[in-house]
Every structure is written in structure tokens, then in C-alpha cells.
Chain A
Amino acid sequence: MTIALINAQLVCPVAGTSNGGVLMADKQIVATGTFAIPEGAEVIDCRGRTLSPAIVDLGVFTIDVPACHAGGIVRVGLMPDQTPVLDDPGIVQRAALIGRPGLWIHPIAAATRGLAGKDLAEMAINRDAGARAVGTGERWIADSGVMRKVLAYAGDLGLTLVAEAQDGGIVGQAVATAGETATRMGLPSAPALAEPLAIARDLLLAEETGASIHFRIVSTAAGFALIRAAKRRGVRVTCGITPAHLMLSDIAMTDFRTFTHLSPPLRDESDRQACLAALQDGTIDVLCSAHDPRGPEEKRLPYADSAHGMAGAETLLALSLGMVRDEVIPIERMIALLSVNPAKVLGLDTGTLTVGAPADLVLFDAGAPWLIDADRMVAKAGNTPFDGLPVQGKVLRLWKGGTALV
């Protein structure tokens, strides 16, 4: 099947922005820009809308095909925190296949058995079963000796370790960042220091072992300072963030609405500003949704008793576009943060509009307005801290390997 997408604004993290089209055949991109339309090709007029690589969402917790499609996502890096934990080849293989053909799941296998942080998991066998990275899940490996072995072994296999950047000993049962807001609300809180403390140790270990490490979400000024310096030293480190941590500070928690109960918890305004600065200066590599839909059974509870997490897949693109409109980042960088960069962490050859790349494409109207409405989301649950927020940017069409999904 040959499809010619014409009259689009092309946004590619490599080639930049231009006007033209994309020709897809045999699941791949075969031409871009201006090209002769082959006979028999299906022609789709994009009417000047934006065409870019489809989104690769790194670090989701739930396989939620409708939400991903609504958000322009065709591939997800699935966190190992599943039931059962992704630490066994059979489970990894099943997870890898469960969303196809509409959604490609790239499992992040548990780095330690049961995510317990004690014994190394069978990383090589799990890699052969389909795992694209290994991870600590939402847990912190407290034992530095174990963490060193995890990084060394993962490095041998060429697998990136997706790490949790919070010192579990300091975090304890905290649900908020220590500060005025948490104090006024009387919520169990931990100092933001828990993040750089964890990052500092793991960076040193990654540097020593030569392994590649990706911190799934970083949200503090001190954390970014460490990563910035490490990148300058040549440490193989990348990091991600969610739109929530870029756009909301802990003030958003003040009405006890559990949709703002996230992990890591929302930080104070100075850290939020540091997140925006890190986004601008290139320290942040990945924008992710941390998609974790939670129903009322887990969210309609007192704040500290509620589950953390947000449904983010279908709002990821629109919220990211908001940062482009606010001139925080240019659109090419936004697309890189959503496609090629997370793809690299997972070792995937996708995320660009180059000839030969998989035909994973999203066509979106960057100006289409809509209202985020928790009750009307297509996700498995509508737990978004952005409920009621007007946004712009809607997915019009989506292709995975040249097959239309939306």
C-alpha cells in the first residue's frame, strides 16, 4: 500500500520544518518533501496541517490503546511495574505483543527480580524476549552495591537503565514535597533533596561502569544541575519530564484534589522554573506522559491514601504544543523530545521523517482548540490534573508502519 501525504507542514527533529509531503510504502518512508506521486497511491491532502513522526511515550504504566491513539502515540516504553512484574521472559514477550497492531509495546524489563532491588533479573533473556531497556520501576534500589552491578550488567548488554530518581529512604511515605504547601495541608512530605541525592549516586555509578542511564522524571533544579554537569563530562545520561511537572507547582495541590497526586510530587515554583530552563537548554531529553490511569476507587480517597499517577497520554501532545506557543521551545525540539529522543533510549530506529525510517506518522492540527475534560477522556480513567484546561492541538490522523490507526 502506497500512501502520499501532500500539502503538509513537515516537522522533523533531524531535517527541521518545511512544507511538502511524505510518501509511505512497505511500512517505510520512501520519499519526503516534493516527490512524484506513484500511480495507484492513495493521496491524502493534509491541508497545511502539521505532519511529524508519531510519538514514542517512554515510561507508561498501562497499555491504553485508545488514549495513546488520541494522543498521537504509536509506541510506548512500558514500565516494569505491572502485575506480574516484567521480570520473566514469558511476561515480557506477552507484554510486547499485547497492543499490536495498533500500539507497539516496548517493555522495560525489571532490572532486579520482582523489582525488589536485591538480585539481578535475567536481563539478557528478557532482552531476547522483547525488552528494549531495563528499569528499577518506581522503586529506588537502596543498595548501592546492587545498583552498581545492575548498571555494569545492563551496560554489557547495551541496555539503558531507566532509573527512579528519588531516594526511597528520604521519601518514605511522603506524598508531597516538603515546603509551605505541604505544611499548610498537613501532608506527609519529603524534601526535594531526595531527587538529587539519588541522581548523584547513580550518575557516579553510571560513570564508573560506563553504562547508559535514563532518569524517567527529573523535576528539581539540583537534579538538573547534576545531569548537566555529567553530560559535560561525557556520562551517558538522559532524562525525562512530564508536562505536569513543567506546568504545575505544588500550589496546584492546595484543594486536596488527588488528580495532582503524582510521583515525584509536584515541586515548588523555583524548581518548576528550573524544569523550564532545563527544557530550554537541552538538559531534558524526553517528554513523557507517565500515563497511569486510575479510577475513582484509587483516586476518590483522602490525598495521602490515594494512588499517585495521572492519565497523560491523550493530553501529551496538546500540552507540549502549549510550550511551543509560549515560546519555551521550538516545535522541532518538541517533536524530538516526543519521538526520536525516547526512541534512542529504547534503541529504536524511528522518530524522524527520513527515508527508510518506519512510517510512524502523526498528522495534527496544532491550532485546534479543545477542553481537557476528565469525564470525557477516552483513557481508561480521566485522572488528569489539567481537568478543565483549554488547550490547542488535536490529532487528525495517525499511522503505524504505514497503516492508518486514526
Chain B
Amino acid sequence: MPASDHSPAASLPGRAVFPHRHLTGIAGLAPHEITFLLDEAEQWVEANRSRSGNDDRLRGLTQINAFFENSTRTLLSFEIAGKRLRADVVNMHAAQSSVKKGETLIDTAMTLNAMRADVIVIRHGSSGAVRLIADKVDCPVLNAGDGQHEHPTQALLDALTIRRRRGTVHNQRVVICGDLLHSRVARSNILALTALSADVRVCAPSTLMPAGIERMGVTPFTDFDSALQSADVVMMLRLQNERMAGGFVPSNREFHLRYGLTLKRLALAAPGALVMHPGPMNRGVEIDSAVADHVDQSAITEQVEMGVAVRMACLDVLTRRARGVEGWA
């Protein structure tokens, strides 16, 4: 058994298995801590599927989803996760907040803290913003995406999807293709998948390839067809035009020609290779509909399902100390 597949929950008591106060990123998590969160999420997958997902372990706790950047699916996923655990969920949108009136992020953090939230979920457009808030509040903070830095729950749900569909993450050849430069999903996934001993390839035009990415334990490619050889998992990323100043690629048409995942291209990967996308998809740009909707190989909707389970697990684990759970208090 590889070290990354070791599940220490049985041998490590309570808090020792996951000693972190916040979840601001995958960076800093040991492989067994990632595995622990995935194991915890498994039970919620089954519970949600059997419609017995509602559990009242967060009853009486206040969960604030502070979203300083627009999001639909992640916000909804965290909201459903919190409600299924019976937390009192409050959503704060930046458009409705004092941020628009000039209030600083620190002031907002202190306000949230003064309201005695029990867990705060934050999305922000600037890298490191979640860490900044986490340092100022008394309750656990969950990163729902900060700038181009990290999106840890997305990486966890992706790893869970791969583990369930492929049996293990270990030794899986995963190709991450698209706008790597602006992608927090890519960074968190690289950290999580390499920690779990996957063979990770990244693919993008040089204009969208972050410098020094090979030092994160991945193999960079600029040619998608070469990267796809023997791939077990193909994870596509959209072009984040809203984060781009100036053109990084000549056009969507040309990007599709070189990096779009078509059925023909998918055939270069290993038979039955899993297709993933964190969404939202630009159909016809980075992925063709025939691939996105592939009955056997596309795991895109399953990723969404895993997202709720992973977020339930994270909310549960991070609030155990405050709830006085035995071994965690």
C-alpha cells in the first residue's frame, strides 16, 4: 500500500488526524490528512444518495458564506452542505456588503468575527485574501477560492471523484489542460494529486503556463496530443478571460484547435479515460459537448455531487473542536 493511501483515522485519535484550524489550501496538508478528508466525505456521498443525508450535527451553529467574488455553483454547494448538516447558513455577497463602500477586508473580517460566526466560508478575487481573514477571526475558515492561489475543496472533490471512479489516485496519469496561469483549481489539484502519488501532466500554451510549475512535481506539455498519451484522467480548464489583461491566445477558435478536448483527441488517452471539468464549461472551446456529455467517460456531474459531500465533510471536521466532539475539543 502506498503511503498516500494510508488511512490513519483508525490509528490516530481525534484531532491528531487533522490538526488544522482552517482549510486555506491544500499546501501544508500531509497526504494522510487529504485521505482522511476524502474518507470522511465518502460517508456523505452515500448518505446524500440514500436521502438520509440530513444530519443535525451543526445544529445551532452559524455558517457564513462570504463571497467577495461571483459564484453560483460553489456558493450553492456550500449552502446545501451546511443546510444538510442543519447549520444556520447565511450568504454574504460582495455586491451587498460594505466592501463596495470602501470597507477593508480586515474590517469585514472583524465584523464577521464580532457576529460570532462558527465557520466562515470565503471566496475572494485576490490570492492570499483568505489567509488574511483567517488570521483575524476566531472561528474556522474555509477557502472557497482565492484569486489564482487555491481552491482546496475543488481539489478534494476531484480527488474523491477520481478515487471512486478509478479505484485509487495513486499512479493515475492525470492531464490538466487549459488556462493554468489563472487557475486556482489547477494549483490545488496539482498539490493534492501529487501528494496522493498521481502522475500529473499539465498542458497549456506557453503564454498560459506558470513559470517553474515543473518544480511542483508535474510534467509540462505545450502539445495536447502528446500529453494525452496513456492518460487515465483528463481534466479540462476554461479560459478565464475575466482574469486576462490582453490576449494570451489569439482566439477561442485557435485555442479549441490546439487544446480543445474532442472525441478524436480523447481517443489518444487510455481506454475509458475519465473526463473532468470544474465548470463552468465553455462548450466548443476547451471541451466539445460530445465529450462533456459522454455517458461513460464524463464525470463532470459526479464532480458536482462529490462537491457537496466534500464540503459537508470539511464543515464537520473543522467544527468538531468547537462542538466539543470527543478527541477534538
Q: Which residues of A contact B (CB under 8 A)?
A: 172-173, 178-189, 191, 255-256, 296-297, 300-305
Contacts of B246 in A (CB 8 A): 172
Q: Can you report 20 residue pairs joining A to B where beta carbons are below 8 Å apart? A: A172-B245, A178-B211, A180-B212, A182-B210, A183-B213, A184-B27, A184-B187, A185-B128, A186-B147, A189-B211, A255-B131, A296-B106, A300-B132, A301-B105, A301-B126, A302-B126, A302-B129, A302-B147, A303-B127, A304-B126
Contacts of A189 in B (CB 8 A): 211
Q: Contact: B124 with A302, CB < 8 Å?
A: yes
With A302-B127, A302-B128, A304-B147 known as contacts, the answer to whether A180 contacts B104 (CB < 8 A) is: no
Task: Please report the C-alpha to C-alpha distance between residue A256 and residue B27 in the assembled complex, in whole angstroms.
Answer: 13
B216 within 8 Å of A by Cβ? Answer: yes
Q: List the A side residues contacting B129 at CB < 8 Å.
A: 302
Q: Which residues of A contact B146 (CB under 8 A)?
A: 186, 302
Indicate if B49 sits at the interface (CB-CB under 8 A). no
- The answer to whether B212 and A256 touch across the interface, beta carbons within 8 angstroms, is no
Q: Which 3 A-B pairs rank lowest in CB-CB distance, beginning with the nearest?
A: A302-B126, A256-B128, A186-B149
Would A183 and B245 count as touching, CB distance under 8 A?
no
Q: Is A187 within 8 A of B148, CB to CB? A: yes
Q: Does B170 contact A (CB under 8 A)?
A: no
On whether the beta carbons of B132 and A302 are closer than 8 Å, the reply is yes
- Which residues of B sit under 8 angstroms from A188, Cβ to Cβ? 148
* Minimum C-beta distance from A323 to chain B (A): 28
Which residues of chain A are within 8 angstroms of B126 by Cβ–Cβ distance?
301-305
> How far in angstroms is the closest Cβ of chain B from A387?
15
Which of A173, A180, A191, A256 gathers most chain B CB within 10 Å?
A: A256
Is A256 touching B132 in the complex (CB atoms < 8 A)?
A: yes
Q: Does B150 contact A (CB under 8 A)?
A: yes
Chain A residues with Cβ below 8 Å from B51 are none
- Asked if A183 meets B216 with Cβ closer than 8 Å, knowing A297-B104, A300-B104, A302-B147, the reply is yes
For A186, list chain B residues within 8 Å (CB): 127, 146-150, 184, 187
B215 near A: Cβ within 8 Å?
Answer: yes
B127 & A185 in contact (Cβ 8 Å cutoff):
yes
Asked if residues A180 and B131 are in contact (CB atoms below 8 Å), the reply is no
Interface residues in B8-36 (C-beta closer than 8 Å to A): 27
Give 1 or 0 for each of B110-135: 1 = CB within 8 Å of chain A CB. 00000000000000101111011000
Known contacts: A179-B211, A300-B104. The answer to whether A187 contacts B127 by CB under 8 A is: yes
Q: Are A302 and B105 closer than 8 Å at their CB atoms? A: yes
Cα–Cα, bound, A323→B294 (Å): 63
Bound: A182/B181 CA distance, A: 11
Instruction: Compute how far the CA of A388 lies from the CA of B186 in the bound complex, rounded to whole angstroms.
Output: 35
A345–chain B nearest beta-carbon distance, Å = 34
Q: Report the bound CA distance from A188 to B128 in whole Å.
A: 12
How far does the Cβ of A209 sit from chain B's closest Cβ, in whole Å? 32
Evaluate contact between B211 and A183: CB separation under 8 angstroms: yes
Complex Cα gap A305–B126 (Å): 7
A191 with B211, Cβ < 8 A, contacts A183-B216, A186-B147, A302-B126 known = yes
Closest residue to A175 on the B side, CB-wise? B127
Nearest B residue to A190, CB-CB: B211
> Do B128 and A303 touch (CB < 8 A)?
yes
Task: Look across to chain A and name the residue whose beta carbon is closest to the beta carbon of B180.
Answer: A183
Question: Which residues of chain B (203-218) have a CB below 8 Å from chain A?
Answer: 210-213, 215-216
State how many angstroms separate the Cβ of A267 from the closest Cβ of chain B. 12
CA distance A256 to B149 in the complex (A): 11
- Identify 20 new A-B residue pairs, CB closer than 8 A, beyond the known A300-B104, A300-B105, A303-B128: A178-B212, A179-B212, A180-B212, A180-B215, A180-B216, A181-B212, A183-B210, A184-B216, A186-B147, A186-B149, A186-B150, A187-B128, A188-B148, A189-B211, A256-B131, A296-B106, A301-B104, A303-B127, A304-B127, A304-B128
User: Which residue, B124, B127, B147, B246, has most C-beta atoms of chain A within 10 A?
Assistant: B127
Tell me the bound Cα distance from A256 to B216 in angstroms: 19
Q: Which residues of B contact A255 (CB under 8 A)?
A: 131
Min distance, Cβ A304 to any Cβ of chain B, angstroms: 5
A173 touches B245 (CB 8 A): yes
Compute how far the CA of A180 lies from the CA of B245 in the bound complex, rounded to whole angstroms: 22
Query: Contacts of A181 on B, CB cut-off 8 Å?
Result: 212
Instruction: Report chain A residues within 8 Å CB of B106.
Output: 296, 300
With a cutoff of 8 Å between Cβ atoms, the chain B residues found around residue A296 in the complex are 106
A178 to B212, CA, bound (A): 8
Distance in angstroms from B133 CB to nearest chain A CB is 9
Residues of B within 8 A of A178 (CB): 210-212
A172, closest chain B residue (CB):
B245
Complex: A184 Cα to B180 Cα, angstroms: 12
Most B C-beta atoms less than 10 A away, residue of A186, A188, A256, A302: A186
> Distance in Å from the Cβ of A292 to the closest Cβ of chain B?
20
CB-CB contacts below 8 Å: B138-161 with A: 146-150
Given A172-B245, A173-B245, A183:B212 Cβ within 8 A: yes
Across the interface, name the chain B residue whose C-beta is closest to A254.
Answer: B27
The residues of B that contact A173 with a CB separation of less than 8 Å are 245
Residues of A within 8 A of B216 (CB): 180, 183-184
Bound state CA distance, A173 and B146, in angstroms?
18
Residues of B within 8 A of A180 (CB): 211-213, 215-216
- Which residue of the partner chain B has the closest CB to A296? B106
- Once the chains bind, are A256 and B211 in contact (CB under 8 Å)? no
Are A185 and B245 within 8 A (Cβ)? Answer: no
Of A185, A187, A302, most buried by chain B (CB within 10 Å of CB) is A302
Q: Given the complex, which residues of B lie within 8 Å of A182, measured CB to CB?
A: 210-212
Which of B104, B146, B147 has the largest number of chain A CB atoms within 10 A? B147
In the complex formed, the residue of A with least CB distance to B246 is A172
User: In the complex, A297→B104 CA distance in Å?
Assistant: 8
- Give Cα A173–Cα B182 distance, bound, in whole angstroms: 14
A187 vs chain B, min Cβ distance (A): 5
Residues of B near A187 (CB, < 8 A) are 127-128, 147-149
Closest B residue, CB atoms, query A189: B211
Q: Bits for B166-187, please: 1 = Cβ < 8 Å to A, else 0.
A: 0000000000000000001001
Residues of B within 8 A of A172 (CB): 245-246
Complex alpha-carbon distance, A187 and B106, angstroms = 20
Bound-state CA distance A160–B129 (Å) is 41
